[in-house]
Amino acid sequence: MTSKPARPARSGDADLIVIGGGIYGVMLAFEAGRAGRRALVLERGQIGDATTANWFRILHGGFRYLQSLDIVRTRESAAERRWFLDFAPDLVQPFPFLMPLYGDGLKRPSFLRMAFLLESVLTAGRNRGLRPESRIAPGRTLSVEETAALYADVRREGLQGAALWQDAVAFDDRALMNRLRHAAESLGAVFEEQTPVLDLQVSGDRVSGVIVGGPRSGPRTAPLVINAAGPWSGEIAERFGAPAPELFRPTLAFNLLIDRPPLAATGLAVAGPSPGAPMLFLLPLEGRTFAGTWHVEWQAEDREARVAEADVDAFLQALAQAAPALGATRGDVLGILPGLQPLAKGSRTAVCDRPLTIDHGRKGGPRGLISVSGVKYTTARHVAQQVVAGLPDPADC
């Protein structure tokens, strides 16, 4: 692998075409550039305007994966969080989160203390090379009094204290996407917006490019095509004669921007008192509250994420249970930020926990066509790195 900038890709001389300019498409272009390959990214709308515009802004360090003892994922996430903190220290910052503990199940203070200890051992390199203000402090537990000092409206009945940890947050995620795009461009990538990919061009059994619509309609040639169209990746593969039913079965998720002042200066991870109540996150955002993430079964055939009023009401009801002091009503909702995510097998709403990469040439489809479906913004670069490392040598294309 080399970091030498590649010549910018023009139509006709790209080494690879990436369909979709969400975080996965941008990271694929960036990693391709780092490997000395010129990527042409074709986006039917604007870069970062679909699912990627509506994420919750947390670059997860992977602490949550310790619950299922998923050590690989814990480490991967911590390493990617470190990368973002290093790449854009002015846009990605450590931010504290507080979770009140009521002593049930895995939410006991003693369990959390053990989990924080395990995390600090497993992610020992999480701050390697970072400047002091970008370093993630170790998680710890708080007494009841310390908890109430940070979150005055905390439900007191049964309270045993809280867990306090840091994750990385990108409050200005639009600026972060622009930074990533420019980094990819400086490595030779070219981005075309308002450029929907309509069809695949094949020569023999090999990919030779795509046909695009839009103002600059026509062919774009390259020996490799990576389908990173997120929720639309399945229908694109099918249109290209490479059906893959396992590619992106959707589940709906959404966040709410609420015109209510934050309940704490930290982020909050809160759940209602009834058993099995969902864990919800509250993030202070420009004096308001950003609440996430609510999951809903997706029953429609299309892939345009939209939210029913009944689902907004259900989310507000869960918030009223989890954080009554927020007092959020429908009239306080300033924005509904939805997106489709890949559904976990055997579930109605859970998000799949692994990315999926399909080399269609190995499954009887055109050679040189690859589909990628990721599950997290946080790990998009890692997935892109793996995909680029697995691409055939340019000489073999």
Ligand X SMILES: Cc1cc2nc3c(=O)[nH]c(=O)nc-3n(C[C@H](O)[C@H](O)[C@H](O)COP(=O)(O)OP(=O)(O)OC[C@H]3O[C@@H](n4cnc5c(N)ncnc54)[C@H](O)[C@@H]3O)c2cc1C
Site residues, ligand X (CB under 6 A): 19-25, 42-45, 49-52, 54-58, 60, 196-197, 228-232, 236, 253-255, 292-293, 339, 341, 374-378
Q: CB of residue 345 vs ligand X: minimum separation in angstroms?
A: 17
Q: CB of residue 160 vs ligand X: minimum separation in angstroms?
A: 27
Q: Which residues contact 319 (CB under 8 A, 6 or more apart)?
A: 280, 291, 326, 328
DSSP string for residues in 196-208? -EEEEEEETTEEE
CA proximity to 351, closest of 324, 378, 390, 314: 378
- CA 311 to chain centroid, in Å, comes to 22
Of the pair 7, 174, the CB lying nearest ligand X is at: 174
Of the pair 42, 98, the CB lying nearest ligand X is at: 42
Of the pair 104, 297, the CB lying nearest ligand X is at: 297
Q: CB of residue 225 vs ligand X: minimum separation in angstroms?
A: 11
Q: CB of residue 22 vs ligand X: minimum separation in angstroms?
A: 2
Q: CB of residue 337 vs ligand X: minimum separation in angstroms?
A: 6
Of the pair 116, 315, the CB lying nearest ligand X is at: 315
Q: CB of residue 280 vs ligand X: minimum separation in angstroms?
A: 12
Q: In this structure, are residues 210 and 42 in contact, taking their beta carbons and an 8 Å threshold?
A: yes
Of the pair 292, 366, the CB lying nearest ligand X is at: 292
Q: Minimal CB distance to ligand X: which residue? A: 22
Residue 257 CA neighbour count, 13 Å, CB half: 14
Rounded to whole angstroms, how far apart are CA atoms 153 and 286? 20
Report the SS3 class of residue 25: helix
**H-type alpha helices, 189-262:** 233-239
DSSP 8-state class, residue 388: H
Q: Name the token pair of 184.
A: 């990819």
Report the SS3 class of residue 239: helix
Does an H or E element contain 341, and which? strand 333-342
Q: In this structure, are residues 121 and 114 in contact, taking their beta carbons and an 8 Å threshold?
A: no
Q: CB of residue 168 vs ligand X: minimum separation in angstroms?
A: 10
CA proximity to 301, closest of 250, 356, 230: 250
How far is it between the farthest Cα atoms of the chain?
71
Of the pair 29, 35, the CB lying nearest ligand X is at: 29
Rounded to whole angstroms, how far apart are CA atoms 208 and 143? 63
DSSP string for residues in 146-182? HHHHH-TT---TT--EEEEEEEEE-S-HHHHHHHHHH
Of the pair 60, 154, the CB lying nearest ligand X is at: 60
Q: CB of residue 257 vs ligand X: minimum separation in angstroms?
A: 12
Which neighbouring-strand residues pair with 136? none
CA proximity to 94, closest of 63, 134, 138: 134
Of the pair 141, 385, the CB lying nearest ligand X is at: 385
Q: CB of residue 172 vs ligand X: minimum separation in angstroms?
A: 14
Q: In this structure, are residues 299 and 310 in contact, taking their beta carbons and an 8 Å threshold?
A: no
Rounded to whole angstroms, how far apart are CA atoms 384 and 355? 10
Q: Name the token pair of 229.
A: 């169209």
Q: CB of residue 95 vs ligand X: minimum separation in angstroms?
A: 12
Of the pair 167, 185, the CB lying nearest ligand X is at: 167
Of the pair 159, 307, the CB lying nearest ligand X is at: 307
